[in-house]
Structure 1
Amino acid sequence: MTAPAPQTKNAAWGWVLLAGLFEVGFTYALKMSQHDGKYLGLFLLCAIVSFECLAQALKTLPVGLAYAVWTGIGSVGTILVGLVLFGDSLSALRLGLLTVLIGSIAGLKIVDR
């Protein structure tokens, strides 16, 4: 029996993206569970899937790089969910900092080539 082929960097980045999206899911579910306990299951599911996707990415990517991008995706996504679903405010400063964060995440991905 042969070992599976190692994943490509593109596949690893796909895992990081999925992990970040599920991180947004678990922060949303965590917020919702403050008012309705039925979201606890969604929180646990999203957290487990997020960590498993990150673990898959770490088979190929450096831990610091993958973690920084994962948390960045989760942060940006959670801010957007807060704006759209919870009516969080968006000041010019906050928008500027969000833009810097997105640029930093993209930069980390670019320098990994």
Structure 2
Amino acid sequence: MSNTTAWIILVVAGILEFIWATGLKYSEGFTKLGPSIFTIVTMGISFYLLSLSMKVLPIGISYTVWTGIGAVGAVIIGTVVFKEPLSLMKIIFLAMIIGGILGLKFTES
């Protein structure tokens, strides 16, 4: 697998991370069957893709980027879908996370 392919897989894994986190919210503590199954399936795919990316990329970069994408995505979903408040400080810290993800990508050898 090429480095570029590993990065694409990692980004997809990160997107699936905040998708399963959203499903977790809808599962209401795994008390709703449909959202619970959706959460478990997307979680499994996300972890599998993360593991594939780690065949090529270092663990420190892979895991950090995966959680960063998930964190940023979860805040965006929380703000847009669940109407959670978004403050200037949240935006600044999200920008710092995004900057960290990009920094790791560009310094990865």
Aligned-pair CA distance for 1:25: 1.1
SS in structure 2 opposite 1:90? coil
C-alpha root-mean-square deviation of aligned residues, in Å?
1.1
> How far apart, in 2, do the equivalents of 1:40 and 1:54 lie?
21
1:12 to 6, 30, 46: 6
Task: Tell me, yes or no, if structure 1 residue 76 matches structure 2 residue 69.
Answer: no
In structure 2, distance between residues paired with 1:112 and 1:76? 21
**1:74 maps to amino acid:** G
Counterparts in 2 of 1:1-113, with a 5 A limit?
A: 7-34=1-28, 37=32, 38-113=34-109
Q: Which runs of 4+ in 1 moved over 6 A?
A: none
- Cα deviation per residue 1:42-94 (whole Å; 9 max; x = unaligned)? 00111000001001101100111100000000000111000110001111111
One-letter amino acid of the counterpart of residue 6, structure 2: A
> Identity percentage over the alignment?
34
TM-score for the superposition, normalised by structure 2: 0.94
Q: TM-score, normalised by structure 1?
A: 0.91
Amino acid at match of 2:17: E
Q: CA deviation at 1:100?
A: 0.8
Gaps of 5+ in 2: none
Paired with 2:76 and 2:102, the residues of 1 have a C-alpha distance of 17
